[in-house]
Structure 1
Amino acid sequence: MPVSPFPAPLTLHSGVRARDAWPLDPGVIHLNHGSFGAVPTAVVTHQDALRRQADLSPVEWFPRIGERVREARERTAPFVGAHADDSAFVPNASAAATVVYNALQLDRDDEILVTDQGYGAITMGAQRLARRFGASVRTVELPLLASDDEVVQHFADALTPRTRLIVVDQITSPTARLLPTRRIAELAAAHGVRTLVDGAHAPGLIADAAAVAGGDWWFGNLHKWPCAPRGSALLVTNAADRDELWPLIDSWAANEQYPVRFDTQGTIDATTYLSTPVAIDYIESEYGWANARTAMAERADAGAEIIAEALRPYGDEDPLTPLPSPVPSMRLVRLPLGLGASREEADELRMQLLDETGVETAFTSFRGVGYFRLSAHLYTEASDFEAFVDRCVPQILQRAGIRPAASLVIP
C-alpha cells in the first residue's frame, strides 16, 4: 500500500517554523505530546516573567493571587464552552476527580460504573471512594471497535437500581477514541444516576469540550493539547450541590463559595493557571484552533500510515487500527504479538526505547494487545515518524522475536 505524502512542515503566522516555536530538545524525537504536553517558548517566557515577579515582591504577589487566578479563569473557561462561575482551576485531571470523589456520599449497597478503557488513576480514585463506604465498583467492558450506539447500549445493560455514579472518558487514554458521553449522561440521568466525565484529553481537541460533554461534572487538562504549563486543568460543574466541592488545600478563601474558594491555595505556584490563557491565545493567534485540529489530524493519519507500512510485512493483521470515533491528534498502531500485553509492559517498553533510541513514545495496552499510541501537534514533522521507523521498529521486531528485513537491521 503506497504511503501518502506527509504534510509539509507548518509555518506559524509570525513566520516561525512551528518546530522552532517549542523549546524541545532537538536531540530527542517527540512523538508523545499526549502524555505530558509541550509548552511553547512564548508561554515559557511569560511564566518565567510571572515567577520572577512573585520572587521580587512576594508580599505584593500572594495576597492578590486570588484576583489574578479569577481573571485567568474568566479568560480560560470560554475555551471549553463553560462559564467562569462554573469553573475552577485544579492541578490536573486526577486532582479534579479527587475533588469530586471527596464530596460524594455513598451507601454500602451502592455501586460505581467505570469502563475498561478508563484512565487507571481515575479508576483507582473511584475504588477508594467505594471502599470508604463499603460500596462497589463494576467495570463496563467496551469493545475497542464498538460504535457509539453499542457503547450506549453497554451502559444501558450495565445500569442497576444500585448504580449511583458513572465515570466515563470523553477521550479514552489507552485507546484514543471519543465516547458519546452526553448520551451516556442523559441515559444515566433518566435512571437517577450521576455522571463524572473525564475530559483529560478533550480541551483543544474538541471545540467547547465541557459544553458538549454532558454529565454532572467535567474536567480536562490544559497542559496537554492547549500547551499550558504542566499543572493546569479545569473542573466544570453547575450541579446544585457544587458547594460541597472543596480544593485539596484549605486556605484563606475556604469560607467562599465554589469556585472562588479554589482561587487561593496558599503559596502554590499559580503561574501555571495564569499562563494558561496565554497558551490558548498563542495557538489561536499563530494558527487558529480549528486549523490546528485539522493539521494535527492530517499529521496523525500520515504518521500512523508510515509506521503501519513498516510493520505490515511482519504480521498477518494490519497494524493500523481505525477507530469508530477517532480524535484529531492520536492514532493506534498495533504492536507485534506479545509486546505491551499489559500496562506495565507497555510503560517499560516506552522507557526502554527512549533510553536506547532517543524517541519519546507512548505504548498502551488493551485486553492483552499492545499498541503504539502516537501523538501529533503542530510541531510534528515527517522526520519524526521516519526516525521512529529507523530507530524503534527494528528494536520492536527484535523484542518480538522477528527478524527485521535488511533495510531495518540495527547497525
Structure 2
Amino acid sequence: MNFPLLAAPAPLLLPDGGAAAGAWTLDESSVHINHGSFGAVPRVTQELQNALRAEMDAAPVAWFPALPSLVREARTRIAAFLDVDVDRTALVPNASAGASVVYSSLPVTRGLEIVVTDHGYGAVTMGAERLARRWGGTVRTAHIPLGATASEAHDAIVVEFSDRTALVVIDQITSPTARVLPVGSISAEAKRRGIPVLVDAAHVPGLYASPMDGIDCDFWVGNLHKFACAPRGTAALVARGDLADELYPLVDSWGAPYPYPDRFDTQGTLDQTSYLATPRSLDFIEETWGWDAARRYLSELADYAEHRIADAFGAVTGDDHLVDVGMPVNALRLVRLPAGIATTHPSADALRDRVVSELGVEGAFTSFDGIGYFRLSTHVYNTPTDFDIFAERCVPALLEWAREATSAP
C-alpha cells in the first residue's frame, strides 16, 4: 500500500557547515538509527570525561574527597535542565537503578500489591516482581491496547488499584511500544487514594523541555544518557514528599547520615565522571542548534522516517504498516514488521543482532502482543538518508526473512 510520502526535513549542520554526525564518533561504516537504546555521546563530552578520568587517576587522594561537591554542581545543572528542584534530585547510574532505589527503600507491608502495565520495561517490572515476592505480595498488570487514548489508558490502569496497592509503576514513554502514557492523571488519582507512584521516564530527558510539568508523582527517574546525550551511566531521580527521605543509594557509603539527596553525592570510589561531564552534552546541543530546534527536527525526521519505511513494506505486502500508538512520541516511532519475525522479545533482540551483523544497520526491534515492530528513533546526527538506506537495504531482507520464517515447517 502506497501513501503520500512526507517531505524530508533538511539535515542539521554544524556551525562550520559540516554534517552534524561529525560531532560524534560513531562508526561511519554503519547506519545508526537506534539512539533510543544506548544513546550516543558527542565528541566534546567524551573528551571532557576522558580528561576528568585522567585527573582522577593522576591524584586519587585529592580527587575523591572533593568529588561530592563536584557531583552537587553537576546535579544542579542537570536539575535546571529538567526544570526540577535540585534539592529533590539525586543522580543514579540509570533508570533501572533509580527504580531499584525505590524498591529497596520504600516502606511496605506483607501482602502488598504493585500495579504495573504490559508496556513496562522488562528490568523495571522484574524488580517490582522481586519486591512483591520478598513481601508475599502480588503484581497486578494493567493491559493497555497499543492504540489506547489517554483516557482509555488511564482507566485501564486505575481499575487495577485496590486497598492493598502499595506502589504504581508506570512509564512516561514506553520502551517496547514507543508511546506516551498519561502519568499526570494517573498520579493524581493515585495521590487521591494515598498510593505512591514511580514514573519510569527512561527516554524522557531531552525530548521534552519541562518533563515533569503536570506530574505530581512521588518518584520520577529519567536517563540523561539517551536523548540528552550524556555519558552512559547518568540518570536523574526526582523524589517529592515525605517518602523522599526514605531513599538511600544502592551502595552504603559515608554519605549515609546526610539527608536526601545529598547522601547520593557520596559513593566511595565509584567513577562518577559521567555525572560531571553531562552538562557539557546539554550545553553542546543548546549552543549548536538549541534544544527547541533539535526537538522539532527529531519529530519532523521521525514523521518522514516512519512513513518512508512503512511505505517500503506496504509496496510489497499491500498492507498498512503504520502503527497507531494512541499517544505518539516525537522521536520514537513504530513500524509494523511483516508477520513471522520479532514475535517475542528474544526473537526481536536476535533480529536486531542479525541486522547489525549482516546489513550494517544499528536499529531496534520490539514485540508486543505477539506482533513484531521496528522501533525507529532519531537524533540530531541522523538524516533522511539514514532511513532511506533502511528502506532500501533492510526492508527487502526483512521481507525475505519473514517469508522464510512463515514457510518453515
Scaled to the shorter chain, the TM-score interval is over 0.9
Find the counterpart in structure 1 of residue 356 from structure 2.
354
1:249 equivalenced with 2:272 (yes/no): no
Q: SS of the residue aligned with 1:52?
A: helix
Offset, 1:248: 1.2
Q: Distance in 1 between matches of 2:111 and 2:254?
A: 38
Find the counterpart in structure 1 of residue 68 from structure 2.
66
Find the counterpart in structure 1 of residue 320 from structure 2.
318
- The answer to whether the Cα contact below 8 Å between 2:6 and 2:303 also exists between their aligned partners in 1 is no
Offset, 1:26: 0.1
Find the counterpart in structure 1 of residue 9 from structure 2.
7
In structure 2, do the counterparts of structure 1 residues 204 and 14 end up closer, same or farther at CA, with 3 Å as the change threshold?
A: farther
In structure 2, do the counterparts of structure 1 residues 187 and 14 end up closer, same or farther at CA, with 3 Å as the change threshold?
A: farther
- The answer to whether the Cα contact below 8 Å between 1:217 and 1:239 also exists between their aligned partners in 2 is no
- What do residues 55-114 of structure 1 show as CA deviations (whole Å, max 9, x unaligned)? 221111111000000000111112112111100000000000000000123333321000
- Counterparts of 1:65-84 in structure 2 under 5 Å? 65-84=67-86
1:266 equivalenced with 2:250 (yes/no): no
Q: How many residues align?
A: 403
- The answer to whether the Cα contact below 8 Å between 1:227 and 1:279 also exists between their aligned partners in 2 is yes
Find the counterpart in structure 2 of residue 34 from structure 1.
36
Find the counterpart in structure 2 of residue 208 from structure 1.
210
- The answer to whether the Cα contact below 8 Å between 2:24 and 2:42 also exists between their aligned partners in 1 is yes
Q: SS of the residue aligned with 1:209?
A: coil
Offset, 1:234: 0.5
Q: Distance in 1 between matches of 2:95 and 2:27?
A: 26
1:299 equivalenced with 2:301 (yes/no): yes
Offset, 1:239: 2.0
Q: Distance in 1 between matches of 2:369 and 2:389?
A: 29
1:130 equivalenced with 2:138 (yes/no): no
Match of 2:46 among 44, 67, 76: 44
Q: Distance in 1 between matches of 2:332 and 2:224?
A: 17
Q: Distance in 1 between matches of 2:273 and 2:149?
A: 41
Q: Distance in 2 between matches of 1:251 and 1:211?
A: 33
Q: Distance in 2 between matches of 1:334 and 1:214?
A: 34
Q: Which amino acid aligns with 1:346?
A: A
Match of 2:403 among 387, 397, 401: 401
TM-score (norm 1): 0.95
Find the counterpart in structure 2 of residue 113 from structure 1.
115
TM-score (norm 2): 0.96
Q: Which amino acid aligns with 2:101?
A: V
Q: Distance in 2 between matches of 1:156 and 1:70?
A: 37
Q: % of aligned pairs identical?
A: 50
1:368 equivalenced with 2:370 (yes/no): yes
Q: Distance in 2 between matches of 1:336 and 1:214?
A: 40
Offset, 1:315: 3.0
1:339 equivalenced with 2:333 (yes/no): no
Deviating above 6 A after TM superposition, structure 1's stretches of 4 or more consecutive aligned residues are none
In structure 2, do the counterparts of structure 1 residues 211 and 250 end up closer, same or farther at CA, with 3 Å as the change threshold?
A: farther
Q: Which amino acid aligns with 2:66?
A: R
1:146 equivalenced with 2:135 (yes/no): no
- The answer to whether the Cα contact below 8 Å between 1:36 and 1:223 also exists between their aligned partners in 2 is yes
Q: Which amino acid aligns with 1:216?
A: D
1:160 equivalenced with 2:162 (yes/no): yes
After superposing the two structures, state which structure 1 stretch, 105-114 or 304-313, moved more.
105-114
Q: Distance in 2 between matches of 1:14 and 1:211?
A: 36
Offset, 1:238: 1.8
Q: Distance in 2 between matches of 1:16 and 1:277?
A: 24
Structure 1: tracts of 5 or more residues without a match = 404-411
Find the counterpart in structure 2 of residue 384 from structure 1.
386
Q: SS of the residue aligned with 2:212?
A: helix
Q: Distance in 2 between matches of 1:149 and 1:112?
A: 21
Q: Which amino acid aligns with 1:283?
A: I
Find the counterpart in structure 2 of residue 172 from structure 1.
174
1:222 equivalenced with 2:224 (yes/no): yes
Q: Which amino acid aligns with 1:320?
A: L
Offset, 1:370: 0.5
- The answer to whether the Cα contact below 8 Å between 2:146 and 2:324 also exists between their aligned partners in 1 is no
- The answer to whether the Cα contact below 8 Å between 1:210 and 1:219 also exists between their aligned partners in 2 is no
- The answer to whether the Cα contact below 8 Å between 1:90 and 1:234 also exists between their aligned partners in 2 is yes
Q: SS of the residue aligned with 1:383?
A: helix
- The answer to whether the Cα contact below 8 Å between 2:255 and 2:262 also exists between their aligned partners in 1 is yes
Offset, 1:14: 5.5
Offset, 1:153: 1.2
Q: Which amino acid aligns with 2:188?
A: E
Structure 2: tracts of 5 or more residues without a match = none
- Counterparts of 1:77-92 in structure 2 under 5 Å? 77-92=79-94
Q: Distance in 1 between matches of 2:212 and 2:395?
A: 38
In structure 2, do the counterparts of structure 1 residues 203 and 58 end up closer, same or farther at CA, with 3 Å as the change threshold?
A: same
Aligned CA-pair RMSD: 1.4
- The answer to whether the Cα contact below 8 Å between 2:113 and 2:167 also exists between their aligned partners in 1 is yes
Q: Distance in 1 between matches of 2:188 and 2:38?
A: 31
Q: SS of the residue aligned with 2:355?
A: helix
Q: Distance in 1 between matches of 2:21 and 2:27?
A: 11
Match of 1:282 among 271, 281, 284: 284
Find the counterpart in structure 1 of residue 27 from structure 2.
25
Q: Distance in 1 between matches of 2:324 and 2:302?
A: 12
